[in-house]
Amino acid sequence: MATSDPVKVGVDGSKASIRAALWAADEAMARDARLDLVYVVDPSRIDDVDAAMAAARHALHRAWQAVTDSGKHVKLETEILQGDPAIELADTARHASLICVGHKGTNDSSPQPRGATSEALVRMAPGAVAVVRRRHKRPPTCHRWIVVVLDESAESHPVLQAALDEAALREAPLLALTSWSTSSPRRTADDTPPDDIRATVDRRLRDTRDGTAAVPVCALPMPSDVTTILQQSAGIDQLLVIGAGRTDVIEQLQEEGARDALRKTDCSILIVRAPKPLERRAFGSPTEHRNEKQ
């Protein structure tokens, strides 16, 4: 899991954003990438620009210090943007391998509902988005499930790979919620394409039964409502990986039932989008934005 694109995290001074920064630091280390701490000043919600900029620098310093004090060895940079937080974070995500935010922030109050920025970012970001929910630190020996939602679309291949990477990073087992039955693996023909998702999952399940899997995998049929899994499985308390094309599942997670099920958990959500070809940039051309370094 290596890339030159940075991992970015939205920082707003809240405890949730500090925890998101720590979570994002692990992602940056796994990718051998830089971690960018990004604060967005919303001119529509402030009266004093100078005070807002000072608050932004203070919040970034706190997040920087938290990551440094954690002992996570990752290169850090900071960035202050101005505009609507969700729009600006979505735009800066174009230059990132992953954009992370806390599940709630300092501006989650009237007129905006709780988690409004994270929900908007999930809809708008052009790449992978992580909505991080961490209430407290868990012992390093307490490994929880990584859960991935799979169907037979082409998008499921990068989604499964992302989930396997996350499971390997956290030394956790993987639970696949599939749109097909895995109770009796189908016969695989000689001409089955190597990227057939059902065949790939069957191989992972077989390797797990044989004891040769680097990441243990099990599978269950995907319920009609993902809230059912969240409510019935207390062990699913680490990360839920979903493809951006599964808007039905993403919408379920934003409903009150799923919110209630997630409220007392540490279950973060990773939305995966299939990578697009990188745009070529002329040698020596300037970057589109500058970072404010500490």
Can you give the pTM of this predicted structure? 0.84
Q: Which band of pLDDT confidence, cut at 50, 70 and 90, is reported for residue 249?
A: very high
pLDDT score at 166: 95
Residue 281 has pLDDT above 70, yes or no: no
How do residues 166-188 score in pLDDT, each as one tens digit? 999 989 999 999 999 887 655 55
d(CA 282, CA 133): 40
- The β-bridge partners of 178 are 150, 221
- Tens-digit pLDDT profile for residues 189-201: 555 566 799 999 9
- Name the β-bridge partners of 130: 100, 270
Contacts of 289 (CB under 8 A, 6+ apart): 79, 92, 95
Residue 294 has pLDDT above 60, yes or no: no
Contacts of 59 (CB under 8 A, 6+ apart): 11, 12, 13, 17, 39
In the chain, the domains with their CATH numbers are: 7-132 (3.40.50.620), 146-272 (3.40.50.620)
Amino acid at 172: A
Using CB atoms within 10 Å of the CB of residue 150, give its burial: 0 to 12 exposed, 13 to 18 middle, 19+ buried.
buried
Does the pLDDT of residue 64 top 80, yes or no?
yes
Edge-to-edge, what's the strand order for the sheet holding 7-10? 76-82, 35-41, 7-10, 98-102, 129-132, 268-272, 239-243, 146-150, 174-178, 217-221
At 268, list the tokens: 């973060």
Q: 88 pLDDT exceeds 50?
A: yes
Task: Indicate the burial class of 5 (C-beta count within 10 angstroms; 0-12, 13-18, 19 or more).
Answer: middle
Flag whether pLDDT at 206 surpasses 80: yes
